[in-house]
């Protein structure tokens, strides 16, 4: 299992705590430091079963300044997340061929 984690995010910390309380120690990917590649994001989005735009944090300042109201292709949204990884919704737990966004944090328990 792997978790896309931001240690500064309360929801992300909560999700990780829930997992460790269940005895699960996922591989932690601090995606703000280890920015995912285009292929990695495509894979995660496919496992989530959503569109790239649905993985965008629309309340982020950078979204409002650069992307709000724009119509981008799936590939362009992925490139936006690579350029500005703060845009990636978090936390994301990946377990095999499944993934879930931990909003609320308890959602991560759905795929363990």
CB-CB contact of 103 with 89 (8 Å): yes
91 is catalytic: no
Please tell me whether residue 50 adopts helix, strand or coil conformation: coil
Find the farthest-apart pair of alpha carbons in the chain and give their distance in angstroms, rounded: 43
Token pair, residue 44, equals: 């995660």
* CA within 13 Å, CB half, 4: 26
**4, 7, 8, 9: which one is catalytic?**
9
Residue whose entry in the numeric block shows the structure tokens 């735009």: 53
| Residues designated catalytic | 9
């Amino acid at each position: 299992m792997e978790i896309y984690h931001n240690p500064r995010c309360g929801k992300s910390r909560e999700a990780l705590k829930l997992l460790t309380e269940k005895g699960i120690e996922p591989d932690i990917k601090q995606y703000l430091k280890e920015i995912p590649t285009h292929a990695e994001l495509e894979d995660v989005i496919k496992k989530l079963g959503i569109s790239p735009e649905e993985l965008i944090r629309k309340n982020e300042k950078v979204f409002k300044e650069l992307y709000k109201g724009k119509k981008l292709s799936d590939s362009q949204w992925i490139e936006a997340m690579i350029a500005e990884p703060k845009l990636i919704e978090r936390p994301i737990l990946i377990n095999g061929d499944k993934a879930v966004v931990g909003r609320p944090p308890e959602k991560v328990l759905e795929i363990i």
